[in-house]
Amino acid sequence: MIRTLIGFALPIAAVWLALGAWDLRRAARSGLVALAVSFGVGIGLSALTTTWAVFLGLPLGGIFVGLDALLWIGLGAAAWMRLRSAPSSAPSASLAPLPKVTALCWVARAAFLLVAVMAVSASLAEYAALPHGQWDAWAIWNQKARFLLRGGRGWTSALAIDFSNPGHPLLLPATVARLWAYAGTETTFAPALLSFSFGAAILASVIGALGVHRARAWMAGAVLLAPEMYLKQVMSQMADVPLGFFIMGTLVVLRKDHVPDWLNAAEARAMLLLAGLLVGFGAWTKNEGLVFLPIVGLLVAWTMIRHGRLRDAAWWAVGLAPGILTVLYFKLIVAPVTPVYVAQQEGGPGILSLVLDPARHAVVWPLLWRTLALWGGPMAEGVVPVAILAALGAALAPGGRSARGVFAVTFLMLAGYYLVYIITPLDIVMLVNTSFNRLLAQLWPTLVLAAFFAGTILRRRSPAAP
Amino acid sequence: MVLLAWSVTAAWAGLQGARRLPVDPMAQLDAEFRPFAGLLPATGTVGYLEQFDNAGTDDAQRMHYAAQYSLAPLVIERRTGAEFVIVARGTERPGGDERLNGYRQIAYLPGEHRLFRRTP
């Protein structure tokens, strides 16, 4: 367990120090968000180095662990020395003064603590019952991790197994395999730790983005953790919550609740670089990350045009490159397999005829609506429509820039998933019933964030508000 | 306040649900199939005898997927014809299964899973 924790902590600590040393931590605009982003970037980068080690034929044994540890210790040491030699930076003048912590905030914190304790207990109970994770965790993600660890150069035989979706990206299996290499054994603790940590990072992002001194941040945290169906996904050891984190992390870094940040070139570039990295890692986590990519690209383009910073979008592309180039290499060279849910289409005209077929919409729409309305589990059914309405209200409120961005991206993601259901050659009912609950778990955090963003904006626009 | 009360109530309901989760058989199946690894080549394809009836059920699928999960990086294909064939418990037709003609049993594991090898 100790060795797993060392392998887990090394890249995160190194990235945390590096973000501070190269003045990128300011892009997070919150200590909690900075921690979550360090986690995401650390896990993402270490997954990429592991993936390329495997692609280049280096077995995930002792030599790999030594080189990997050296890499992260070296990066951390370089960042540490730079931090020590650099003059301490003055606090950003653009930050608003912290509001006084109200009685409501203390009540919200207490309720959140209660919910968090129950959520952790439920997570432990799920781990005790399903140490290898839910069905897809062992049939797809952890199985691929075993191929990467045990197979050496022969790991590609995993691509012959149809039921484990050979074209799925490898961020999660590579990370699990890396932790197993550190542990020296295939402990179930590694994927469980990873699964739990992605859930915790989402929570930290939400609370940090909304402001730890505000009651609504802790309310949002409590609401986020309340639905049983979300918690089950957190400990499932599958890739939906990790992708949900990369979506959340990107949107939190790109949030627009403080316009001066976007007017400062250094801060804008830092935000774009980090957002690009997180989007790239999202694409290397699940195919849905490739749906997120063009959608968030639109958000970035809009933001850049609005603030006259179109040239700075290159920083987004620089951040995007490591993840996307790996995805392209994998999808074009290593595993050129079209996902079964969009395979066997007859090109543009065939897809257009499916999109225009009212009979398919008549099947998909009621199915999706029913799943969406019932999502949540005991005492939580109906939370998604309520959250959508609240997020829409926040987006339409004066000063709801961040909520508008987050809501628009979430809406377009849902529209993208809807389109896939419309054009799929698979049995629609089967596909919706086996996937839409998971897809909602990816987007539940962003809906919660959007729903609670409104007040933050209004308070910042109105300095007199308590 | 309503929101917070709802969150606590829903989280409590979720915790009760998690406590009632049945133990997943995967850990047991993983351990049952693992000893085959010492009897099989390190890489390549191994056959797996499809359940003689109800082959598409969740239980039948889980058994095959568990063998694959346990024995990676071998590829476990649901067919006969390979040099080695895994016969998981309950998959062989009672009273003799003609799909195993030309094979002889070379191992029997405590989980009632067997390994067959093609006769020369």
Residue tagged 């390979």 (tokens): B82
Q: How remote is the C-alpha of A389 from its chain's centroid? A: 23
* Domain, as residue range, for B76: 24-118
Report, in angstroms and rounded to the nearest whole number, the Rg of chain A calculated over CA atoms.
Answer: 22
Least CB–CB distance from A119: residue in B11, B22, B72: B11
* B22 to A129: CB separation less than 8 angstroms, yes or no: yes
Query: Which ipTM score applies to this complex?
Result: 0.93
Least CB–CB distance from A130: residue in B21, B62, B65: B21
pLDDT for A465 equals: 38
Mutate which of B2, B4, B16, B19 to test chain A, going by most A C-beta atoms within 10 A? B4
Strand bridging mode B84-87 / B45-48: parallel
Give per-residue pLDDT as tens, B88-104: 998 888 888 889 899 99
Least CB–CB distance from A154: residue in B9, B12, B73: B73
Would residue B13 count as lying in a domain? no
Alpha-carbon distance A327 to A169, whole Å? Answer: 7
Query: Which residues of chain A does B56 touch, with a Cβ-Cβ cutoff of 8 Å?
Result: none
Alpha-carbon distance A203 to A116, whole Å? Answer: 10
Report, in angstroms and rounded to the nearest whole number, the Rg of chain B calculated over CA atoms.
Answer: 20
CA distances for A346 relative to A219, A286, A350, A353, A423, angstroms: 48, 24, 5, 10, 11
Q: What is the mean pLDDT of residues B68-88?
A: 94
Query: Which residues of chain B does A222 touch, with a Cβ-Cβ cutoff of 8 Å?
Result: 3-4, 7-8, 11
Reduced to 3 states, what is the DSSP secondary structure of residue B82?
A: coil
Name which of B57, B76, B56, B54 is nearest B65 in CA terms: B76
Alpha-carbon distance A132 to A188, whole Å? Answer: 6
Q: Assess contact for A139 and A249: CB atoms under 8 A.
A: no
pLDDT for A191 equals: 97
Query: Which residues of chain A does B6 touch, with a Cβ-Cβ cutoff of 8 Å?
Result: 226, 379
Alpha carbon of A403: minimum distance to chain B alpha carbons (Å): 19
Residue of chain A minimizing CA distance to B24: A130
Would residue B14 count as lying in a domain? no
| Helix ranges (DSSP H) in A130-188 | 135-136, 142-151, 171-183
Alpha-carbon distance A392 to A292, whole Å? Answer: 20
pLDDT for A88 equals: 61
Phi first, then psi, for residue B46 (nearest 5°) are -125, 140
Mutate which of A228, A386, A430 to test chain B, going by most B C-beta atoms within 10 A? A228
Q: Is B112 left (phi over 0), alpha (psi -120 to 50) or beta?
A: left
For A86, the token pair is 């650099």
Would residue B49 count as lying in a domain? yes
For B33, the token pair is 């199939």
Least CB–CB distance from B65: residue in A139, A222, A380: A139
CA distances for B77 relative to A143, A157, B26, B34, B71, angstroms: 15, 12, 19, 17, 12
* A147 to B72: CB separation less than 8 angstroms, yes or no: yes
User: Which residues, 6+ apart, have CB-to-CB distance to B64 below 8 Å?
Assistant: B48, B50, B76, B78, B88
Total number of domains in chain B: 1
pLDDT for A455 equals: 53
B46 beta partners: B76
Would residue B63 count as lying in a domain? yes
Query: Which residues of chain A does B71 touch, with a Cβ-Cβ cutoff of 8 Å?
Result: none
User: Which residues, 6+ apart, have CB-to-CB distance to A186 below 8 Å?
Assistant: A146, A149, A180
Q: Assess contact for A239 and A173: CB atoms under 8 A.
A: no
Would residue B84 count as lying in a domain? yes
Would residue B10 count as lying in a domain? no
User: Which residues, 6+ apart, have CB-to-CB distance to A321 below 8 Å?
Assistant: A276, A280
Crossing angle between the packed helical segments A240-253 and A31-55, to the nearest 10 degrees: 130
| Helix ranges (DSSP H) in B1-120 | 2-19, 26-33, 58-71
The answer to pTM > 0.80 is: yes
Provide the residue count of chain B: 120
Alpha-carbon distance A439 to A410, whole Å? Answer: 11
Give per-residue pLDDT as tens, B23-72: 999 999 999 999 999 999 999 999 999 888 877 788 899 999 999 999 99
Alpha-carbon distance A15 to A104, whole Å? Answer: 36
User: Which residues, 6+ apart, have CB-to-CB distance to B113 below 8 Å?
Assistant: B32, B33, B36, B86, B87, B88, B89
Positions in chain A short of pLDDT 50: 93, 457-466
